[in-house]
Amino acid sequence: MADLRNLDALMREVRPYGATLVAVSKTMDDPEILEVYQHGHLDFGENYVGELTEKAERLPGDIRWHFIGHLQSNKSRRIVPLTHLIHGVDSLNTLKEINKQASDRPKGADLLIQVHIAREQSKYGVPLDKVSDFLEEVFSMPFPNLHIRGLMGMATFTEDQQCIRTEFRQLRNLFDEYRCSMDPSRKEKFNILSMGMSSDYRIALDEGSTMIRIGSLIFGQRQ
């Protein structure tokens, strides 16, 4: 069972920040997702291509699916037509592929560039010191079907709140700096900063997140 009291509490917490709450439903079954949906929530996050594809087929068509996993270019064909926002893109090849797959979709594809802010080696993303060059390159490419909407990052898995805060702050600063250098028409659409999960969303909101991705606080611990 989903914890709707927690969901309500989260919504109240998020509202003053004007941030979006994505309910991360990975590994959850349809009834739990429907509970949250029937409670009025439309944004759901999944991180496996197969799982998202199957759920999108079965569940209501007005759900806004967020792909929050790492997207490999060869998997984007299935994901692009189904998603509202793709969070984890970190390579030009994947961007090229998404652009291609989005060509027959009137609204194109909205996506975020994933930035590596954590100390762990295992997490994906463009290294912090390479992001400016990467974005420069991305925006100079002819990608008529892509809307680069902002940045996404995951902090180190640690109890050390100060460390988490520092990492989120680095991402926020990068986001702001980059926005300052953009022309106004582009800046307007580059307005999403996806950071914060169940364990660190308060720090993320405090550091300027506009989109938090919450799983276990809503759906309980995953097996």
Give the interface with ligand PLP as residue ranges (CB under 6 A).
24, 26, 47, 68, 154, 197-199, 213-216
| 143 vs 172, beta carbon nearer ligand PLP | 172
Q: At closest approach, how far in Å is the CB of 197 from ligand PLP?
A: 4
Integer Cα distance of 149 and 7 in angstroms: 26
Measured torsion, CA atoms of residues 186, 191, 194, 200, in degrees rounded to the nearest 10: 140
Nearest-Å Rg of the Cα atoms of the chain is 17
| 124 vs 139, beta carbon nearer ligand PLP | 124
| 145 vs 170, beta carbon nearer ligand PLP | 170
Find how far residue 216's CA is from the centre of its chain: 16
Burial of 168 (0-12, 13-18, 19+ CB in 10 A): buried
Ramachandran class of 154: left when φ > 0, alpha when ψ lies in -120 to 50, beta otherwise: beta
Q: At closest approach, how far in Å is the CB of 18 from ligand PLP?
A: 20
Q: At closest approach, how far in Å is the CB of 182 from ligand PLP?
A: 26
Query: Minimal CB distance to ligand PLP: which residue?
Result: 215
Integer Cα distance of 92 and 88 in angstroms: 12
| 14 vs 197, beta carbon nearer ligand PLP | 197
Q: At closest approach, how far in Å is the CB of 106 from ligand PLP?
A: 28
Q: At closest approach, how far in Å is the CB of 15 from ligand PLP?
A: 19
| 46 vs 97, beta carbon nearer ligand PLP | 46
Nearest to 17 by CA among 214, 202, 216, 215: 202
